[in-house]
Amino acid sequence: MADTGFVRRGHITFITALRDIVVSLLPVSQLPAQWIKILYGRDVTFVFLTHPRDEKDIFCTFPLLAVLHRVIPSKWILGFLSIFPCFVAAKVVSPQGLNGFFISTPLLPSTLFQNRDKTLKNAKKIVQFIRKITTQRVYVGLAAWWPIVTNSGVAFERYLEKDDRVVVTNGHSATLASIVLSVEKICQIAALPIRDLKLLIIGVGKMGGAVAQHFFGRTSAMGLVDQNEKRLDRVAEDLRQKTASTKIEKIPVSDTGFSGAILPALVDYHIAVCTTSNVGYVIKDEALLKNCVILDDARPEAFPRIVDADRGVIVLEGGLIKVAGIQIDSDFGFGNSDNIFGCLAEAFLMNLDGLRTLKPTLGEVDAENFQKLLSVCKQNKITCGDFKAGWQLVNDDMIKKVIQSKMQLAAEKTNNIS
């Protein structure tokens, strides 16, 4: 069984951290190409902008700090780190010969969310840093909470010039593609026609809303979960404007009553897609889960990664895109080859496309751009990610067994009622 608290292993050393600090302080807009080659070994064309989920991530990615942490309080370490804009945390190489970096801010989600001034200053400095260490057009994909704290990436436009060679995308189109393709594949594996699918969407913010819009009218039922009742009403009302037979159920939840409301729905619906960014939605006690298939795209993770055939529980890493041959020299909890997060895959896909077809996603997902992204994926044999619960690969038979057992349970329930 995989543990939710997986270890992120990174490669920030004292030398690379010092290099990044010095480079960020240098009063130049761009380093000479030879310097970039010497200091970074490559001139990258895509960047995945991420952040630590918690202190543990920082100490795992930056082992020297873990040593210092034994004698220095973490508050001091984090305060010192936050002076600097960002660090190169990992390298990515694609089979197409494209090179990328994972660049991470030292700011934790709480700071990103609560200290808007600091976040925006940090974003500006990160753009400057990326300009310094690259010479070509570079595509930047925003991961985890970065889109949330920058108005879905729109705030980055404040720091970009017209036709800037730094192109920022919030990654929502590829994340949506990942979720859509994964749900379709699960249905295909379980021989469950999409029109019969009962889909639960946990969190109906921008991504959850986009998932709902995509599947409404195609599925038999849709459960919408959110703690914001006004938003729940709006999303449901918006869907009902369309003429379709999909049955909508609104499931309001609260931070304290999340488990009570959500657990029965997880059993009733065939697949649950979790897109919330609300940390109050975490179910830590895995024993509570039974008869459910969850695609967890929430960051931080909302559900423990589990594959348990006896209880019929599968919690899958959500939002993965499979790019055969892509290699990352760091492990973000689901291995380091072939799979990358959708939000980051979008920067990579844009790099492959070279702005010929795709445009960056800033703000909401554009339906036309989304369809084009699916075409670019298809052309390049890029598919939804492997089904993984942490590092554990979940095979098709397991998925089929759990979904079919859920269908049987539902049939028995219906028979008992009638």
Partner 1 sequence: MKEFDNEQIFLKIRKALAKLLKISEGEISMEASLKDDLGIDSVDNLDLLFAIEDGFKLKISEEEAVQLRTVNDVVELIKKELLNG
Interface ranges with partner 1 (CB under 8 A):
113, 115-117, 148-149, 151-152, 154-155, 205, 228-231, 233-234, 238, 277
Task: Read off the amino acid at residue 87.
Answer: F
Question: Which residue lies nearer to partner 1 by CB, 212 or 316?
Answer: 212
Residue 228 CB, shortest distance to partner 1, in Å, is: 5
Q: How far is CA 276 from CA 168, 224, 232, in A?
A: 22, 12, 13
Nearer to partner 1, 218 or 234 (CB): 234
CB of 239 to partner 1, least distance (A): 11
Residue 58 or residue 123: which is nearer to partner 1 going by CB? Answer: 123
Minimum CB separation of residue 179 from partner 1 in Å reads: 19
DSSP string, 223-286: EEEES-HHHHHHHHHHHHTS----EEEEEE--STTHHHHHHHHHHHSSEEEE----GGG----G
Beta pairing, strands 87-93 & 99-104: antiparallel
Dist. CA 63–CA 51, nearest whole Å: 16
Residue number, 1 or 154, with CB nearest to partner 1: 154
Minimal distance, residue 112 CB to partner 1, in Å: 10
Nearest approach, Cβ of 153 to partner 1 (angstroms)? 11
Task: For residue 255, count other CB atoms closer than 10 A to its CB.
Answer: 11
Nearer to partner 1 by Cβ, of 61 and 277: the residue is: 277
Question: What DSSP string runs through 285-304?
Answer: -GGG--SEEEEE--SS-SS-
- For the four alpha carbons of 185, 186, 192 and 194, in that order, the dihedral sign comes to negative
SS3 (DSSP) at 391: coil
* E strands present in 132-181: 138-142, 166-169
Q: Considering the complex, what minimum distance in angstroms separates the CB of residue 147 from partner 1?
A: 10
| Residue closer to partner 1 (CB basis): 147 or 318 | 147
